[in-house]
Homo-oligomer: A and B are copies of this chain.
Amino acid sequence: VAELNETHDPQLRSWIESANAPECDFPVQNLPFGVFCSAGTGAPRGGVAIGNCVLDLHALREMGVFTGVAAGAAAAAIGPTLNDLMQQPPSSVSALRAQLSQLLRADGAVSERVRSRVSEFLVPRDSVQMQLPAAIGGYTDFSCSYTHMAGMRNGEPARIFFQFPIGYHGRTSSIRPSGFPVTRPCGQWVRDTPAEVQFGPEPRLDFELEFAAFIGSGNELGESLSVAQAAERLFGYCLLNDWSARGIQMLEMGGLGPFLGKSFVTTISPWVITNEAMAPFRVARPQRREVEPPVPAHLDAPEDEKAGGMSIELSAHLQTPGMRAAGLPPERIVSTNLKSLYWTFAQMLAQQTSNGCNVQPGDLIASGTVSGPEPQGRACLAEINQRGSRPLDLPDGLKRVWLEDGDELTITGRAVRAGYVSIGFGECTGRVTSARGSPGNAPHLRTNPG
């Protein structure tokens, strides 16, 4: 777990005024890394979000402002992916953050001439196309929310939930950055009346509000990481929407677990909030109840118990086509907090490697649906609608059981702690588009008498 340092100082302000607005996701205390394309800069390159701008790291590095180990980290951060940056020693990334902080804060030890040059490398954030921040070689989705597991089962989670973080391998090829359209998948699902399997556009399209970590340096095949070691290999974090086709998934759960019900697309927010930036927001992991088994030895570590959790307010907002047409803003339908997660990211990574499995820089591990005990804490429609029995009421007078074509779902996150400047994660958004060949999907739609 990274330590507090001067980059977290709540007194810091930036000479880029938009970074000082209280609601800004990217104040000078954040400094997240990403990969962007813009008309001016062409090919994908690394950048840092500050206020309503992106700072072009490629150009900044060519200017020669970085020194020492920070220069090495900057060289690894120019793009087109951040995998090289992710495997730098945490101390080098920390040095880069410290020098970026000096460059961007109002009281930084930087001459007017340098600041003037730096300002030339700022690109308006709303003018760039964000890319995936890394080439993601492996993606694991865990299921670490007690409330979600209980909600999906309508009862206490299975005992293994308490024994280790349950997970499965997700599909890496269909992970896309925020904004990518979500095409309603086709697949096989059970029609209720009469009960039979048919192939066609998925009627029960859902979202899952999740949170994810990018792996920094990896391990060798055969080498297990302790929880303490794992904590040092977490490079940073993003928001994730694990779009779910519930009809397809339901059939698959009788087989070998989630597969086509999840692999049609997974959306992540494009900015990687560094592990160091999260230092002020660390919290203890939740207390276990008496009835639960103790933490297994290979997943236990004192530091993780004290500070393995993170306090991050997470929200999901829905805007239907009707709301858009009426000029209504997106409606918040989920409000939860990451701190309720039963297992920490260090525990997830330790578990992933406990059998000797190797992970690599840029691998992604996700939390599973972050449902919490708060009002509006249910973080997917399956929980909200209680298996279709309780539709969601929306401001346009319509109801939603599942996502309809044209619906846009946006996940946001803010790390908050009294006495510190809160930092945000940007947006993880996607709009549902109709299934290929719809309406009707005639070529595919055929009842399977099985």
Name A's B-contacting residues (CB within 8 A): 137-138, 140, 143, 158-164, 166-174, 176, 183, 185-188, 197, 199, 202, 221-224, 245, 248, 251-252, 254-261, 263-265, 292-294, 296-298, 351-352, 354-360, 363, 436, 444, 446, 448-450
Chain B residues with Cβ below 8 Å from A448 are 163, 293-294, 296-297
Known contacts A355-B248, A436-B222; decide if A169 and B171 are in contact (CB<8 Å): yes
Q: Which of B160, B162, B260 contacts A254 (CB 8 A)?
A: B160
Main SS class of interface, A: loop
- Say yes or no: B357 contacts A168, CB within 8 Å: no
Chain B residues with Cβ below 8 Å from A352 are 260
Q: List 27 A-B contacts (CB under 8 A).
A: A137-B137, A137-B172, A138-B171, A158-B255, A160-B255, A161-B255, A162-B450, A163-B197, A166-B252, A166-B255, A168-B255, A171-B357, A183-B222, A186-B224, A199-B298, A199-B354, A222-B436, A224-B444, A248-B355, A256-B257, A256-B258, A260-B351, A260-B355, A261-B355, A264-B357, A296-B446, A296-B450
Cα–Cα distance between A356 and B168 once the two chains are bound (Å): 20
Return the chain B residue nearest A437 by Cβ.
B224
Q: How far is the CB of A182 from chain B (nearest CB, A)?
A: 10
Cα–Cα distance between A35 and B277 once the two chains are bound (Å): 43
Q: Which of A137, A173, A363 gathers the greatest number of chain B CB atoms within 10 Å?
A: A173
Chain B residues with Cβ below 8 Å from A357 are 171, 173-174, 260, 263-264
Chain B residues with Cβ below 8 Å from A297 are 199, 444, 446, 448
- Say yes or no: B449 contacts A294, CB within 8 Å: yes
Chain B residues with Cβ below 8 Å from A296 are 188, 197, 199, 446, 448, 450
- Say yes or no: B160 contacts A245, CB within 8 Å: no
Copies in the complex: 2
Chain B residues with Cβ below 8 Å from A197 are 163, 293, 296
- Say yes or no: A256 contacts B166, CB within 8 Å: yes
Q: How far is the CB of A311 from chain B (nearest CB, A)?
A: 27
- Say yes or no: B168 contacts A221, CB within 8 Å: no
Cα–Cα distance between A260 and B170 once the two chains are bound (Å): 14
Known: A158-B254, A167-B256, A168-B168. 20 other contacts (CB 8 A): A137-B172, A137-B173, A160-B252, A161-B255, A162-B450, A164-B188, A166-B256, A168-B255, A168-B259, A169-B259, A174-B358, A185-B356, A199-B297, A248-B355, A257-B258, A260-B352, A265-B356, A293-B449, A297-B446, A297-B448
Chain B residues with Cβ below 8 Å from A256 are 143, 166-168, 257-258
Known contacts A137-B137, A188-B163, A436-B222; decide if A264 and B356 are in contact (CB<8 Å): yes
The 3 closest A-B pairs by CB, nearest first: A257-B257, A293-B450, A185-B355
Cα–Cα distance between A258 and B168 once the two chains are bound (Å): 7
- Say yes or no: A224 contacts B436, CB within 8 Å: yes
Cα–Cα distance between A71 and B252 once the two chains are bound (Å): 45
Chain B residues with Cβ below 8 Å from A292 are 450
Cα–Cα distance between A223 and B264 once the two chains are bound (Å): 10
Cα–Cα distance between A173 and B248 once the two chains are bound (Å): 27
Chain B residues with Cβ below 8 Å from A446 are 296-298
